[in-house]
Structure 1
């Protein structure tokens, strides 16, 4: 079969080069790893052949060691398995680096969806260019880096990956050889759990090494296409940050860590400025600028390396000095190196003294308790039975008085709430309003959740006329999404809140969480619930003259809202507010889509392009008809019932606990957050974090949250005689097509052969068959819907990439399931329990890392 041009490029630039460099890597003479590189290919082949025959993992491991008489002792076997794990972890990095180094070549034919092509088309079409300019005057993209690490290499490994990618681009064999040796000797994981500040430091690496350069490059490129400046009043691309500010269910995030992260962001930013300034200093060596250069040297150096007790916003002073230098260069020195001044000035205007806006997030239940505690201390108009009143009664009573409450004497979480509210004002003083201007309320269920939080601000030193904070409700579950419009209606009709919005430019941000709605209602219902909520929320906002921005909480894999995200935004239709795109980027999404200059530039351009395309769509081509909405309602309902039926199976959580690494995820040192919100007591599904839920299913290679219920929905549609309508919906609706294609992507990483031994298990046999049956049903109907014969046939390069990654980590999956089986058999042997737990924990890293954004 003849390969397409894109497949041929991928084969030569990625597959062939990986085979070449992997063979080199496997023969490196590392300490205590003799024979490991030689044996690993044989072990991989053994796993592949055994899985095809549905052999259980324990039998696969035993039969492999049966071929080598030197591995009779259990200790020697365990030692070799750990060495296999170490090698495979590094093979994943090598594959990532090779893919990233070839990114521009393998993605050259994707340019139809890029901003560059759109602007090129507009250059010869004045009317189109005017429309794009108008869209850009309103549009903004905000990318928010979050503390949900589903892929989290330490900074030392990220640096090696970056250098290796550069060396691979130019085939510098000596450098590659040295970097592979460095990779082999560098530890991949932390010996202790990271703190929120550690997480912030790791993510700030991407700010410093990728976003600092890419964001300014793209915005300048867009501005250069037009005769006059577009972004005077706003930025095209904004950066947000959650580590250190997101305290929802994370007891390790405190006011102290929030302050430390804010200072850290400033420090990292000024180091970027200082590096650029040193380049500028090497060029601007003329008379007449000494005073300004000396002051800039002092500002950049001191804020990079000396911690200030009371930092202030220095943006205006820095820009003033840069502008003075520019004037001297133009007036006296023929404008030499003005471009270097302009570049640094541009970055200072973009990033100020804060780098990325630090969002604060807390659960509504914590905020309600803080409201209760402070009411007992200060003079306020609330009756004693206030908390037992209905929402409507509370709305009539609630008042907005300014009264400074005490700063101490509360329970720990309430105390943190009040201290953090006061800290936000200090952060704005140090870095400007954008340093921290959003408070996100998780589990927001009522309008009073927002209004009571405003009370807390007014009782903590803030004034009504200077409340420079945006209050962002987060609606997460299927039920909360259905009630979101009524909550916002109550807010928009509240006189105080209307006045507050007016002072904030009549702009309202609403966050919608994908992950929890998937865990709650399944893949199709989650997607459809969010889509419907956006239409309802947009309608309400437009009726009240409110400019709405949706902030989407999306994880890396499709099961958590990831996948081909830009296609969701390009095809929303006129019923949904589209002036702004805001979304979380996290875990493997950060390193896979924004880990290098090339990948970040490409993916950010795609997102900006999606926003403009959506704004230019003034017709109804992406608007669903009433009949199509009814069809989607019915399919989502069928899918929801199927998923809920699975969730309610008594074996559901037990299956996940015993057969996946779920219980051990808490011991993996990649996150400061607990795996569940309530740390005490038995594990309950409602308390389990979505990231742990989805990760566990992906470790099983079953990816249930990414497809379960979709097949049943498609089957019901067929039985109801509306199959042709579903096919037309797939062909005409970008939203539905993206949902199905992402589901397709999720299923492409499923391999039920690995756990086929469970089919005859006395406890889990029937349950396993239920999962496998829905997978087979979904696979067959997805392929029929898309007119394909294999999963991901429409995306052959991604399909090949996934297959290669799955082959690399298959031995890790087998080792993990072997250890889980042995753990159950030897649960009374303390020494063996330690070994098997360690094996399980170590395999999780590589499996997750290999998944990137395609889990």
Structure 2
């Protein structure tokens, strides 16, 4: 029975569904509306009432659709998925407000709860101040080929969310309610008439624009509020009127425009344009906020007192209007605005739309701007206007401190193979007798250390290198110029994909020296050198690689200039594709255990960068539980993690949802660092069991994916991978090479394809076989042992929770229809039969270990969400299968291709974090 607390959610879904239905009837005609409604009702009958005859009716109905009918049906159900997501997000906000208004205890995972628990554990305000002063929590936005949302669609959705929010927060008059209804109707109509898919492939700059849209709506406004909330909590706990301002401990980074691993379109020019675009957003925001601040601080001499510094700042302003002669704050802000406008012109080459009031010198950097804003803050605080200092000025000051003039720190990533080839060419050109590629690892290390230690450059401006080497050198030169222009915080990190050896890191160090970012005479390094360990083999080798690296005095002297801190990135997506869900998770856990030990022995602070995807098959799942499940010592107050593709919109498009997700990261990091029970190391028996389960799961996964003849063909024919490769949804190719080999396919489209056909295979395959073999070996107490692991070990519980979610979103009946796309019947039956058996074994094992009667019994909120949305999602899958069949027969029908693309969009929206 539906609970009263959920009634508003269903009301919103029904209302939005009705508006969408009205729009379809008005725009496409009653026949189209009636068809979609009939499909909807039949699907609901099948899903909710378990009416088997309804399934046959649904399949027959969908298979008989004409091409144009199919397009409209796909559009209708796709847009409904988007609208349902908006309603669910709004309901989460609604419930949070209800709890807050009622004075309920803060929920687990909230920042308030984490702070309360820290105080209860004996940490005082000073101790927490120390924690935040050394903390770094950084979600990093990345663009991937599965990003299926157009910015125009996101804008329509944001307007609908705003209108729903108004209905929740404000008691509207009948006239106001009618206006809101009409505005919602307009927004839904605009959504229906807005093209869902892009007519041309997305460029890197398009991806940059998409990423920047979340700063104006969410990050620039919500991050300062989080800082203010923490500071106020600490001051309240300390019993003081205010607490010292915290150092910037949470930032939002980006790979967009800097990630060139496998993306030939990320060039030095693109990096330069990305930096300019980011600066435009940051400076534009500050200018707008200053303009508003000047309008509000109309304080007049004679009614207030001001500090000498504020008087001097106002006196330096080019604002000499007699109308503001007695308004020192306004004149001071006019002067700050003029300087910032001049900074805008100096950095970007053109003046802002709203000019300064007169000529002024540009700021040398954001610290100078912050110092001027501090003068205003101190003057207001010292002269009885604390409330004014705590308003918009407080948030602006914090934004400047966090975002600077560069907005977001960009990571530069490249594959180790590229760095190897570039270094080899530089060495061969400088010393023709040298053959770097022929050297063993010891010889490479010795040569690289020798070159890094000398100030003599290897590259010559008088030599023409290969296109690849010229491109890489140009990137490094641009990075150096960026440091001079925006500061080292604009490009603080250089990441080496596919790191397998010490020489991989030293090759990057050498290239940084070539650009002047590493200065050997000063033993100074102006950026972080970050290895990325991705495959199962590389994860196993990671501790040994770092141990050997730290044994090199030359590298350790460079690390001293970075505060004796080293970041290591761990790849979730590729390790999953390489070894399967269970082995990937276990290999990551073991790598972290080993790294914690090695770093402690060498006295180096470890910062882990988790390359997590949005879906479980890419290492995703709830961030809070994932951070708390890290091994002891792995979270030392600092953590970075990727926010990938379609998940960015789900987490950060709505500002309030975005703030909640940012707070979750802070709360989890604080709890994992300060509140984790260090003595509660996993039972050694758990570790031994996990290794056995991993070995058997690995054998089952590899046996299917890499060792079964014809599996590659089965995958390409039974999923939408070919069509995904054609989509205009990203700048990066779906495969690293022009081949159909699973090894060459990127992990992201690999997982995305399995999600589309509702199998979710990368998120569970192999677990059932592993558990069966374990139980066969220990029939007496094997299940009880696994149940105890689930109760007592958060890492194992998290793995099973994530598996529970993807299994609940899978559907073997729908997946079987995709399997029928495989032309070879024997191949189809053999492989799908194995998948079906493993799925059932995995579900049985999961339920037995967790004690649930059904999937997601322990997560009723998600279970409800899935139950409500699947009747609207299933038709999209059935139609997609038919469209794929037609497309592969005709190949040249643009309307069918469009229908497939829209169905991909709708299914991804309906599954949310499983794509």
User: Could you tell me the TM-score, scaled by structure 1's length?
Assistant: 0.92
Residues 151, 588 of structure 1: 8 Å contact kept:
yes
The aligned residue for residue 520 of structure 1 is 578
The aligned residue for residue 212 of structure 1 is 220
Task: Structure 1: give runs of 5+ residues left out of the alignment.
Answer: 72-76
The one of 30, 35, 60 equivalent to 2:31 is 35
How far off its partner does 1:131 sit?
5.0
Counterpart Cα distance in 1 of 2:123 and 2:531 = 38
1:448 corresponds to 2:503: yes
The one of 328, 348, 351 equivalent to 1:308 is 348
Counterpart Cα distance in 2 of 1:249 and 1:33 = 46
The aligned residue for residue 317 of structure 2 is none
How far off its partner does 1:15 sit?
2.4
User: Using a 3 Å threshold, how does the CA distance of structure 1 residues 293 and 45 change in structure 2: closer, same or farther?
Assistant: same
1:667 corresponds to 2:707: no
The aligned residue for residue 767 of structure 2 is 710
How far off its partner does 1:173 sit?
2.0
The aligned residue for residue 174 of structure 2 is none
- Map 1:136-147 → 2, pairs under 5 A: 136-147=132-143
The aligned residue for residue 649 of structure 1 is 708
3-state secondary structure, aligned to 2:107: helix
User: Using a 3 Å threshold, how does the CA distance of structure 1 residues 699 and 306 change in structure 2: closer, same or farther?
Assistant: farther
The aligned residue for residue 112 of structure 2 is 116
The aligned residue for residue 205 of structure 2 is 197
Counterpart Cα distance in 1 of 2:663 and 2:386 = 32
User: Using a 3 Å threshold, how does the CA distance of structure 1 residues 231 and 492 change in structure 2: closer, same or farther?
Assistant: farther
How far off its partner does 1:49 sit?
6.4
How far off its partner does 1:700 sit?
1.0
1:85 corresponds to 2:144: no
- Map 1:277-676 → 2, pairs under 5 A: 277-286=290-299, 287-289=327-329, 292-301=332-341, 308-309=348-349, 314-327=365-378, 329=380, 337-339=388-390, 340-378=392-430, 384-398=434-448, 399=450, 400=452, 401-404=454-457, 405-407=459-461, 409-462=464-517, 463-464=519-520, 465=522, 466-617=524-675, 619-620=677-678, 622-647=680-705, 648-676=707-735
3-state secondary structure, aligned to 1:764: helix
Task: Structure 2: give runs of 5+ residues left out of the alignment.
Answer: 168-179, 300-326, 351-361
User: Using a 3 Å threshold, how does the CA distance of structure 1 residues 313 and 780 change in structure 2: closer, same or farther?
Assistant: farther
The aligned residue for residue 766 of structure 1 is 830
User: Using a 3 Å threshold, how does the CA distance of structure 1 residues 50 and 838 change in structure 2: closer, same or farther?
Assistant: farther
1:164-209 per-residue CA deviation (whole Å, 9 max, x = no partner) reads 1121123332321221122111122211111111101101111221
3-state secondary structure, aligned to 1:582: strand
Counterpart Cα distance in 1 of 2:554 and 2:363 = 31
User: Could you tell me the TM-score, scaled by structure 2's length?
Assistant: 0.86
Counterpart Cα distance in 2 of 1:272 and 1:348 = 10
Residues 139, 642 of structure 2: 8 Å contact kept:
yes
The aligned residue for residue 235 of structure 1 is 248
Residues 873, 907 of structure 2: 8 Å contact kept:
yes
User: Using a 3 Å threshold, how does the CA distance of structure 1 residues 609 and 645 change in structure 2: closer, same or farther?
Assistant: same
User: Using a 3 Å threshold, how does the CA distance of structure 1 residues 292 and 152 change in structure 2: closer, same or farther?
Assistant: farther
Counterpart Cα distance in 1 of 2:72 and 2:271 = 39
Counterpart Cα distance in 1 of 2:213 and 2:31 = 36
User: Using a 3 Å threshold, how does the CA distance of structure 1 residues 65 and 779 change in structure 2: closer, same or farther?
Assistant: closer
The aligned residue for residue 878 of structure 2 is 814
1:451-499 per-residue CA deviation (whole Å, 9 max, x = no partner) reads 1111112223442234301100000000000111111112111111100
How far off its partner does 1:56 sit?
13
How far off its partner does 1:762 sit?
3.5
How far off its partner does 1:315 sit?
0.5
Residues 43, 54 of structure 2: 8 Å contact kept:
no
How far off its partner does 1:101 sit?
1.5
User: Using a 3 Å threshold, how does the CA distance of structure 1 residues 271 and 713 change in structure 2: closer, same or farther?
Assistant: same
Residues 666, 674 of structure 1: 8 Å contact kept:
yes
Counterpart Cα distance in 2 of 1:57 and 1:494 = 66
Counterpart Cα distance in 2 of 1:372 and 1:185 = 54
Counterpart Cα distance in 2 of 1:241 and 1:213 = 18
The aligned residue for residue 221 of structure 1 is 229
User: Using a 3 Å threshold, how does the CA distance of structure 1 residues 43 and 304 change in structure 2: closer, same or farther?
Assistant: farther
The one of 11, 15, 27 equivalent to 1:16 is 11
Counterpart Cα distance in 1 of 2:414 and 2:613 = 19
Counterpart Cα distance in 2 of 1:61 and 1:618 = 52
User: Using a 3 Å threshold, how does the CA distance of structure 1 residues 126 and 728 change in structure 2: closer, same or farther?
Assistant: closer
Counterpart Cα distance in 2 of 1:101 and 1:502 = 48
Residues 570, 614 of structure 1: 8 Å contact kept:
yes
User: Using a 3 Å threshold, how does the CA distance of structure 1 residues 723 and 194 change in structure 2: closer, same or farther?
Assistant: same
Counterpart Cα distance in 1 of 2:812 and 2:122 = 55
Counterpart Cα distance in 2 of 1:224 and 1:673 = 44
1:300-340 per-residue CA deviation (whole Å, 9 max, x = no partner) reads 44566886259975312212322333455467795673333
Counterpart Cα distance in 2 of 1:831 and 1:386 = 49
In the comparison of the two structures, how many residue pairs are matched?
833
Counterpart Cα distance in 2 of 1:143 and 1:19 = 35
Bigger shift: residues 537-546 or 302-311: 302-311
3-state secondary structure, aligned to 1:96: helix
The aligned residue for residue 167 of structure 1 is 163
3-state secondary structure, aligned to 2:531: strand
Counterpart Cα distance in 2 of 1:582 and 1:714 = 33
Residues 599, 605 of structure 2: 8 Å contact kept:
yes
The one of 783, 787, 807 equivalent to 2:851 is 787
